């Protein structure tokens, strides 16, 4: 029976360990679960659609028009010439003041000076800036996961140490209960240790409630059911996803690339445009004005040709536009320097904190060893009636506090190590 229970316990422990979430698993799950992740696909789709629309600038541009006008005066023959025509028996009615036209205008760009190409480059680079900004927002998720993960890890350690403390108190409680029955200890001694054990149990209930809250928050954030977590290694593995520049630096590079693309668009704005066009309309008057003056009937008309246009207005603002883009690039360089400066300071502080915690943990080992010896001596003294239970409880609490302090220092050190990885 005992072997069966032992086997079942080992199986349960194995399942618990296998189901425990690692920090890296939580980070990846949070990246997938966070609602903002869907925005990356939207950015990509928007960029593709924008580029596709710009590319359609090479397609023929067709416009349909319909107009009806009335004008106060129209082209007419001089009165002398009208008189001559009348003598010849010809009635020149002249143009009517109400005129109508229904037509189609088709224009085809042949050469645009690279305007469409530069517009597509600007649109793609704007998409790269939006994507880089999205990466900055997504990268901040890692720090939030770190906060909750290590808070949960610290609560697990406190719960474990609380259990150790209760075990010590229960052992002394049983000893005092036996001594009280034999008349070698006062009832108050037994009740004092029992009260302290119940106080520890009460603290355990509070810690477990806090753990449940933090575990639920982390679970919702990651989209997982967090039952247990593993303590991460003191030397985090550098995965391929963690290599390269910080996303803030990639964002600055993308913004500088956008400024470069816009500067090339300024060059394209200076070049001439060449295209062909065709116009056709049905209406009155048509292109044959003399015939329309005589017959006043609707007709079909068409015009085809080529057009060269050169707008030199871009020269007026080119110098200022280039100066603005240079100022933007300089501002991005300043942002990079400020970020690297603050990032370096943060790395120095975190590295110093890690060294400090390592030293504190070394001291904690010695403090725990000494507190353990004092607590064992207090248990012996209590058994011989030299001290009372208050002294023993004080030493038990002091040893437990030392162990808690060591766990706090260890978890804080681990958090600083992974925060340093985040900072780098």
CB 199 within 8 A of CB 162: no
Single out the residue of 99, 100, 82 nearest to residue 91, CA to CA.
82
The angle formed by the CA atoms of residues 84, 85 and 90, to the nearest 5 degrees, is 155
Quick check: helix, strand or coil at residue 189? Answer: helix
Question: What is the pLDDT averaged over residues 385-392?
Answer: 78
Query: Tokens 């580029």 label which residue?
Result: 51
User: Over pLDDT 90: what percentage of the chain?
Assistant: 42
Phi and psi at 411, nearest 5°, equal: -65, -40
Residue 195 · residue 389 · CB < 8 Å:
no
CA 23 to chain centre: 19
Q: Please classify residue 253 by burial: count the beta carbons closer than 10 Å to its beta carbon, then call 0-12 exposed, 13-18 middle and 19+ buried.
A: middle
| Number of Cβ atoms within 10 Å of the Cβ of 39 | 17
Place 1 in a pLDDT band, splitting at 50, 70 and 90: very low
87: which residues sit within 8 A by CB, 6+ positions away? none
pLDDT tier for residue 152 given thresholds of 50, 70 and 90: very high
Mean pLDDT of the chain: 85
Summarised one tens digit per residue, pLDDT across range 113-132 is 888 899 999 999 999 999 99
Q: What is the C-alpha to C-alpha distance for residues 323 and 189, in angstroms, rounded to an integer? A: 85
Listed residue (409, 402, 406, 407) closest to 353, CA to CA: 409
From CA 227, how far away is CA 18, in angstroms rounded? 11
pLDDT in tens, 97-115: 889 999 999 999 999 888 8
The pLDDT score that the predictor gives to residue 12 is 40
Kindly tell me if the per-residue pLDDT of 282 is higher than 90: yes
pLDDT digit string (tens) for 244-276?
689 999 999 999 999 999 999 888 888 899 999
DSSP state of 242: G
pLDDT tens-digit readout, 36-49: 888 888 889 999 99
What confidence category does residue 10 fall into, taking pLDDT thresholds of 50, 70 and 90? very low
**Which of left, alpha, beta for 94 (phi over 0: left; psi -120 to 50: alpha)?**
left
Tens of pLDDT, residues 201-257: 999 999 999 999 999 999 998 988 888 889 888 777 665 444 568 999 999 999 999
Mean pLDDT of all residues in 67-84: 80
Proportion of the chain above pLDDT 70, given as a percent: 92
For residue 247, give every residue at least 6 positions away whose Cβ sits within 8 Å of its Cβ, in sequence order, or none.
132, 135, 136, 138, 139
**Entry pTM:** 0.76
Q: What is the band of 155 on the pLDDT scale with cuts at 50, 70, 90? A: very high
Q: Are the beta carbons of 110 and 58 closer than 8 angstroms?
A: no
SS3 call for 89? coil
Question: Which pLDDT band holds residue 332 (cuts at 50, 70, 90)?
Answer: very high
Q: What are residue 391's phi and psi, to 5 degrees?
A: -65, -40
Does the pLDDT of residue 34 top 90, yes or no? no
Helix, strand or coil, per DSSP, at residue 17: helix
pLDDT digits (tens, 9 = 90+) for 316-329: 888 998 999 999 99
């Amino acid at each position: 029976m005992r072997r069966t229970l032992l086997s079942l316990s080992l199986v349960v422990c194995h399942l618990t360990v296998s189901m425990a979430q690692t920090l890296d698993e939580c980070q990846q799950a949070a990246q997938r679960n966070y609602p903002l992740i869907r925005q990356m696909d939207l950015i990509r789709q928007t960029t593709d659609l924008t580029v596709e629309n710009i590319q359609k600038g090479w397609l023929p541009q067709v416009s349909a028009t319909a107009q009806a006008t009335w004008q106060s005066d129209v082209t007419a023959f001089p009165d002398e010439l009208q008189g001559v025509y009348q003598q010849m028996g010809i009635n020149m009615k002249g143009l009517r003041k109400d005129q109508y036209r229904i037509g189609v205008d088709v224009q085809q760009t042949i050469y645009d000076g690279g305007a469409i190409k530069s517009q597509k480059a600007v649109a793609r680079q704007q998409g790269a800036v939006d994507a880089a900004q999205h990466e900055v927002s997504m990268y901040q998720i890692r720090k939030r996961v770190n906060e909750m993960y290590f808070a949960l890890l610290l609560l697990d350690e406190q719960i474990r140490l609380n259990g150790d403390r209760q075990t010590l108190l229960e052992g002394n409680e049983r000893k005092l209960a036996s001594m009280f029955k034999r008349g070698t200890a006062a009832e108050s001694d037994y009740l004092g240790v029992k009260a302290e054990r119940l106080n520890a149990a009460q603290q355990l209930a509070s810690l477990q409630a806090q753990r449940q809250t933090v575990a639920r928050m982390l679970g919702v954030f990651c989209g997982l059911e967090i039952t247990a977590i593993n303590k991460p290694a003191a030397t985090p593995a550098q995965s391929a996803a963690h290599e390269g520049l910080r996303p803030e630096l990639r964002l600055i590079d993308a913004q500088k690339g956008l400024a470069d693309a816009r500067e090339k668009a300024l060059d394209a704005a200076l070049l001439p445009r060449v295209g062909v066009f065709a116009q056709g309309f049905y209406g009155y008057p048509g292109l044959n004005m003399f015939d329309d003056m005589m017959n006043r009937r609707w007709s079909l008309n068409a015009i085809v040709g080529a057009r060269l246009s050169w707008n030199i207005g871009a020269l007026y603002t080119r110098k200022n536009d280039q100066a603005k883009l240079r100022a933007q690039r300089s501002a991005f360089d300043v942002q990079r320097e400020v970020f690297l400066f603050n990032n370096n300071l943060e790395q120095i502080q975190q590295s110093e904190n890690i060294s400090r915690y390592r030293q504190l943990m070394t001291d904690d080992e010695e403090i725990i060893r000494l507190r353990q010896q004092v607590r064992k001596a207090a248990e012996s003294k209590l058994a011989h009636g030299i001290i009372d239970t208050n002294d023993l409880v004080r030493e038990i609490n002091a040893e437990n506090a030392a162990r808690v302090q060591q766990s706090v220092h260890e978890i804080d050190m681990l958090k600083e190590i992974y925060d340093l990885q985040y900072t780098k």
